Amino acid sequence: MRYSRQTAFAGLGESGQQKLSAARVAVVGVGALGTVAANCLARAGAGFLRLIDRDYVELTNLHRQMLFTENDARRRIPKAAAAAARLAEANSEIVLEPIVADFNAANAETFLSGIDLVLDAVDNWECRFLLNDICRQKEIPWIYCAALAAEGMTMNFLPGHHPCLQCVVPKQTLTGLQPTCVTAGVLNMAAGAIASIQAAEAVKILTDSPTVRQGLFTADFWNNRFKTIPFEQDADCPVCVHRRFDRLTLPENIQVLKICGQNTIQITPFPPRRFDLENLAGRLQSAGKIDRQPFMVSCETEHHRLTFFSDGRALIENAADEGQAKSLYAEYAGT
């Protein structure tokens, strides 16, 4: 009875629902796009959802990240955990696996193991190109999605003789300063609409529908402009033609990333390390105010807030530059 209004749709039916119930989906990024897409798939009955996100809920998220509450923001709950808890209340018949971690070259293969489809809901191009590499290497379909201001776009990337992200967006076109949701803003309606379109394509792919869209779909929801742009595979593409997956090579030292739209720098150690959060919280007691959560521990000093996760990462707020962020990481967490 749960899915009766859904299976009544001729495009899906009982057979499509069975395929959907057996599907295993990874949602990489559980923010404005990921919360909407995950919500659609969870309620539709996708059998397994792996929710991957590195961040925690903040007040500025709430206008567009549909699964979170003010209480989540006050408690700084990791987004993956908060989303899984909310979705479990909506559908107890599916399996939800929250992963509080940065998606990177060290864990990409593990996190996508056994997955049938990947939804991109991230906020940076480095992660998208990494997704492109790992999904092409493992022949996993994935769906790109992005929203900014009143615009959104999405594209299905399928195994075989189809274009990949490298064909569509050569990396050299991304040089220079890129706008963010802080500088350009974002309407929750735009994010929600494009993520719902992404989720619809996900259901079509998972149920072997003949109507899976080809090309890049773009929408300007403010000015009512919608179009689909066709793309062909680049005959000389290093990824999908020559099968070079350079982004899967592990860095040799610390990776530093400026978080989109925030005065925050993420430090990720390589090779990976693990934090004993209880031990770390004890060591940080004398440094500042401590906030201990199941997935992380934060230390608020006079000038900075440092948030350490069990996977070895840290978010450094108010660092002057990358060099200071790395120094603070070493000072408080050790090397």
pLDDT score, position 259: 77
CATH fold match for the domains 4-229 and 252-333: no
Q: How high is the mean pLDDT of the chain?
A: 92
171: confidence class by pLDDT, cuts 50, 70, 90: low
Q: What percent of the chain has pLDDT over 70?
A: 95
Neighbours of 232 (CB within 10 A): 10
CATH of domain 4-229: 3.40.50.720
Catalytic residues, which ones? Answer: 181
Count the alpha carbons within 13 Å of 319 in the hemisphere toward its beta carbon.
23
DSSP string, 194-237: HHHHHHHHHHHHHTT-TT---SEEEEETTTTEEEEE-----TT-
Q: What is the pLDDT of residues 288-326, one digit of tens each?
A: 899 888 888 999 988 899 999 988 999 999 888 888 888
The residue written with tokens 């259901």 in the block is 203
CB 171 within 8 A of CB 158: no
Give the start-to-end residue ranges of the domains of the chain. Answer: 4-229, 252-333
CA 319, CA 331: separation in Å to the nearest integer? Answer: 13
Burial track 104-123 (b if 16+ CB lie within 10 A, e otherwise): bbbebeebbeebbbbbbbbb
DSSP codes of every residue in 21-87: HT-EEEEE--SHHHHHHHHHHHHHT-SEEEEEES-B--GGGTTT-TT--HHHHHHT-BHHHHHHHHH
Q: What is the CA radius of gyration of the chain?
A: 20
pLDDT at 335: 61
User: What are the pLDDT digits (tens) for 176-234?
Assistant: 556 667 667 899 999 999 999 999 999 999 999 999 999 999 999 999 999 999 999 99
Q: Three-state SS for 112?
A: coil
CATH topology of domain 252-333: TATA-Binding Protein (3.30.310)
